[in-house]
Amino acid sequence: MGGQPEVGSGANAKVKLALDLGSGQTAAMATASNDDERLPLLVGFQRVSDNTRRLTRLMESGKGIYVYDTEGREYLEATASFYVASLGYQNDELIDAISAQYRDLPFFVSGMQRTGTGSVELAEKLRSLVSVPNAHMMFASSGSEANDFLIKLLRFGAVARGEPNRTGIIGRHESYHGGTIASASLTGSHQEEFGLPIEGFHHVSQPDYHGHRLPQESAAEFSARCATELEGLLDSLPDESVAAMFAEPVSFSAGLKVPPGEYFPAICSVLERYGVELVADEVITGMGRTGSMFGSETFSLSPHHVTMGKGVTSGYFPLSAIAVGEDLYMALDKGSETVGTLAHASTFAAHPVGAAAALKTLEIIERDNLVDHAAAMGKRLAEGLGAFEGHPLVGDIRSVGLASAIDFLRRDDDDVPSNDDADAVLGRVYEASLNEGLVVRPAGRSLVIAPPLIVNAGEIDEIVRRVGVALDKAEAGRDQ
């Protein structure tokens, strides 16, 4: 395919990159020419006018933590391709397990008293790992679907319990929960242009302590303010009209806004008082990313339900899952007795090949101690990035597990935000990173780095080195 992208090549920065997935920011570098050839597909999270061959990198292969484009250029995938490819590329064991499943039973539907053996085995495995006691697993094909299906189950449960008005759902600004109508309504950005949210979806602030704290406000005071905001929202709504609040243990789409230790206890105590359930969206934070198997463990959460996706199969097959808490399960049981069925299914949910991919992924993660390994590599990454704390562009560096973010909002000696160009700086650093062959994720004023769990110490050091080069080049304005 000709006309390969000049995106990010230092010699030709006349490109425009939409950097956003849920956080509401873009970094415009330049504009695509009108005569540029349009792609036959519509690529998301970029301007439609950039949907051209010239501005699109076409990836052809991957190996370990590297991917290669059609020009033979190598990129170090320091986000595991949107936090998915946790075992990296060309994992032969995983490919063999998937191939074997394709030979044995390539497809079988799950519903009406039949399902594949792998889906039961996977459900057993996941319920033994997730922080929801006696969970029952429901499968889906994407994180969006997992959140959407859970919202539907919550409504079915509310009707069954005789509380049909308990349909409200709370999300947080800047959080991302998916692309379906309900999960996009839950997402805390990009709603107006789609005529969203649909009725019953409400939002509270992201625990963005670095960006939103008042000067000298302590983490405890900030967290109490977040809890008061939530309480105010619940007070403003009709009694018993809210079913659940969805929150990622730490939101990557918001720019890895690591919540202060006081945040979730304060939020959970409000939820408890109002009888509102907590759902942990672990689509990104599940499967070892935060230094525990699930982010709920890392942040000491006891969610009523958990959704997961992405790294469950390391991206080798689209599969997501919902851990349904016991109370809701009993309500579903009651409701289905009354109605005669739980009229919900999805043809490709509990796909035998997806189950095989997930089971092998989990086996490898556990056998190779990849959660501990990821935590150790994350520590090395955080320490390495610590060298940039005094860099003139850098306002804050946050890390958790195998994930770090460099935030370009700076605060002055009086603890007051002192620059309004954080998004523009982020765009420059992102562009410079790509020029260094480093794929990172711009989100919420911040550059997010979260390589595959298999990353080794030398590769972490290489990521840090390239980030340093990108910061210096962005500062010198050499890539503008």
Ligand X SMILES: Cc1ncc(COP(=O)(O)O)c(C=O)c1O
Kindly list the residues in this chain that would bind ligand X in the complex (CB under 6 A): 142-144, 147, 176-179, 248, 252-253, 281, 283-284, 309
Residue 22: CB minimum distance to ligand X, A? 7
3-class state of residue 386 by DSSP: helix
| Residue 144 C-beta: closest distance to ligand X, Å | 3
* Closest by Cα among 166, 266, 263 to 209: 263
Q: What share of the chain is helix, strand, coil (3-state, %, to 5)?
A: 40, 15, 45
Number of Cβ within 10 Å of residue 53's Cβ equals: 16
The residue (of 18 and 393) whose beta carbon lies closer to ligand X is: 18
Which residue lies nearer to ligand X by CB, 291 or 309?
309
Collapsing DSSP states into helix, strand and coil, what is residue 429?
Answer: helix
Output the smallest distance, CB 282 to ligand X, in A.
8
Q: Which of 241, 228, 76 is nearest to 158 (CA)?
A: 241
Q: Which is nearer to ligand X, 140 or 374 (CB)?
A: 140
For residue 156, is it left (φ>0), alpha (ψ between -120 and 50) or beta? alpha
Q: Which residue, judged by CB position, is nearest to ligand X in the bound state?
A: 143
Nearer to ligand X, 19 or 284 (CB): 284
- Closest separation between CB of residue 13 and ligand X, Å? 27
Nearer to ligand X, 21 or 39 (CB): 21
DSSP annotation of 193 reads G
Name residue 135's amino acid: A
DSSP assignments along 146-194, one per residue: HHHHHHHHHHHHHHHTT-TT--EEEEETT----SSHHHHHHSSSS-GGG
Taking the complex as a whole, the smallest distance from the CB of residue 444 to ligand X amounts, in Å, to 12
* Rounded-to-integer distance, Cα 4 and Cα 412, Å: 43
Q: Which of 180, 228, 182 is nearest to 205 (CA)?
A: 228
- The residue among 29 and 358 lying less far from ligand X, judged by its C-beta, is 358
Judged by CB, which is closer to ligand X: 309, or 384?
A: 309
**How far is the first Cα of the chain from the last one, in angstroms, to the nearest whole number?**
28
Region of 218 on the Ramachandran plot (φ > 0 left; ψ -120 to 50 alpha; else beta): beta
Nearest to 143 by CA among 244, 285, 332: 285
Rounded to the nearest whole angstrom, what is the least distance from the CB of residue 331 to ligand X in the complex?
24
Least distance to ligand X, CB of residue 294, Å: 13
